[in-house]
Amino acid sequence: MSGLTGRRVLITRTADRARPLASLLSGLGAEPLVLPLIDFEKAGDQVSLDAALERLVAGDFDWMVISSITTVRVLLDKAAQRGIALADLVPAGTKVAAIGPSSRQVIESVGLPVALAPADVQSAEGLLAVWDASSGRVFLPQADIASPRLREGLAAAGADVTAVVAYHTVDYPARAELRLSAELPSGVVLSAFDVPPTLSTEQARTALDAGTVDAVVAASPSAARRIAQLFPALGTCRFVAIGRPTAAEASRIGLTVAVTAKEPTPDGIVAALESIFANEGNPQ
């Protein structure tokens, strides 16, 4: 019997993005709950983004650094607008770097070979630690709230960095006309599993207050901030961070991190959850 049997896990993602993890949790006997807290909208300054992409297509950059999976969705969207495949947006002479093995897997699944990524760390710091291109022109499309650490680290290493806002992180739900439309391929077999109905904030608060939620999963620093804002007291619910930046932000704002998932994949998150409950038995 899985250590997650009977556990109720709150996933703070939109239903489409929560589906792979919810499917895996359900198969292990847990009860996934879905509460979207953040969403993503197209960048307000499309002119700067499109200008940088034109430079990319023209071969003006030696590297493109992809620091989030949402950036891949933006690139897919932009390629579709041009009627081309994503691989055709990036010329052969431009190398692609990712921030970790999971990001690498997603990027390569949409047709872009990755030339550089840390082997066991999923973070900007991990990429900077293995960065071996001391100079060159780097295209860095990022979220509007992205930390400056990656840009500054690349510049400190001698790179000529063009950082552009690729998308905005907003409270859920994103405006329909601005929401990113491109979706990523999923490596998880979903079969007939249906994502549970999305909870409202009030329903989630009631469940947390009643102590009937065993863990809440936050996938980003912005999700951690929203959790702290909406649910100041988590009670017996354990906070699970996906990645070091999320864990660091959660700790900074006063949330107790029970465990940090080493990999931002369903398997990695499940492993982190199982490490919490392995010695506690199953709930009655």
Amino acid 186: pLDDT: 53
**pLDDT at residue 272 above 60?**
yes
254 contacts: CB under 8 Å, gap ≥ 6: 228
Q: pLDDT category, 1, cuts 50, 70, 90?
A: low
Q: What percent of the chain has pLDDT over 90?
A: 77
State the CB neighbour count (10 A cutoff) for residue 232.
9
For residue 166, pLDDT over 80 is answered with yes
Please check the confidence at residue 242 and state whether its pLDDT lies above 90: yes
Q: Which residue has the tokens 């990001």?
A: 103
What integer pLDDT is reported at residue 122 of this predicted model? 80
- Domains (range + CATH), the chain: 8-39+192-277 (3.40.50.10090), 41-169 (3.40.50.10090)
The per-residue pLDDT for 281 is: 58
Please give the average per-residue pLDDT across 112-141, as a whole number: 90
The answer on pLDDT for 238 being more than 90 is yes
Q: Using 50, 70 and 90 to split pLDDT, how confident is the model at 187?
A: very low
Identify the weakest region by mean pLDDT among 98-102, 156-160, 161-165, 220-224.
Answer: 98-102
pLDDT computed for residue 191 by the predictor: 42
Bridge pairing between strands 160-171 and 38-42? antiparallel
Q: Across residues 71-94, what is the average pLDDT?
A: 94
Task: Give the residue-averaged pLDDT of 187-214.
Answer: 78
Q: What angle (nearest 5°) sits at the alpha carbon of residue 133, between those of residues 128 and 138? A: 80
Nearest to 174 by CA among 11, 13, 9: 13
* Banded pLDDT at 98 (limits 50, 70, 90): very high
> In the predicted model, what is the mean pLDDT of residues 170-196?
72
**Mean pLDDT, rounded, for 104-121:** 91
Is residue 282 predicted with pLDDT exceeding 60?
no
Place of tokens 């999320």: 246
Q: 6's torsion region: left (phi>0), alpha (psi -120 to 50) or beta?
A: left
Look over the chain and give the mean of its residue pLDDT values, rounded to a whole number. 91
Both structure tokens of 274: 């199982």
The per-residue pLDDT for 177 is: 95
Q: Flag whether pLDDT at 152 surpasses 90.
A: yes
